[in-house]
Amino acid sequence: MAITARLYGQVFLKAFNKEIDILDDAIACTLHTSGYTPDQDTQVYVSSLNSEVAAAGGYTTGGQNLTTDTLTYTAGTNTIMYDADDVVWAGSSITARTAVLSDRTPGTAATQPLLVYQQSDVDITSNNGEYRVAWAAAGIFTIAVG
């Protein structure tokens, strides 16, 4: 099983335009089936998403908000890292292929920016009643600024 993580193409444009306040806004993680194909160039807002996992088996439409999210700068490597606690659906029966992070604070799906997605090459199913989206050791994303 291979996992690919990518930023959506306009995430920094949306942040610089003040459409995203990454630490103060509600950043949600939603799960999507194999019917969803991410497109970094054309998908900008939540309204672009499809094939969200059905509200059943411990999953609620709209996903879960991230907790304990942080933004840190490391001078030695000139990197900025965004990270948060893993997202866990306990007592669940879920099958998904893609996790998507989006800013749910702006008004509607047509104005809620997409940030990043993490996609498996195969379906992932709850393990012993737990579905976990685990972030890389280097965080949800790391940016080199040097």
Residue 145 lies in a domain: no
CA torsion through residues 105, 109, 110, 116, sign? positive
Domain count, the chain: 1
Tell me the HSE value of 16 on the side-chain side, using a 13 A CA sphere.
4
Residue 40 lies in a domain: yes
Q: What residues make up the domain containing 126?
A: 3-67+90-138
Residue 80 lies in a domain: no
Tokens of 113: 């920016």
Per residue of the chain (146 residues), give pLDDT as tens. Answer: 799 999 999 999 999 999 999 999 999 999 999 999 999 999 999 999 999 999 999 999 999 999 999 999 999 999 999 999 999 999 999 999 999 999 999 989 999 999 999 999 999 999 889 999 999 999 999 999 87
Residue 27 lies in a domain: yes
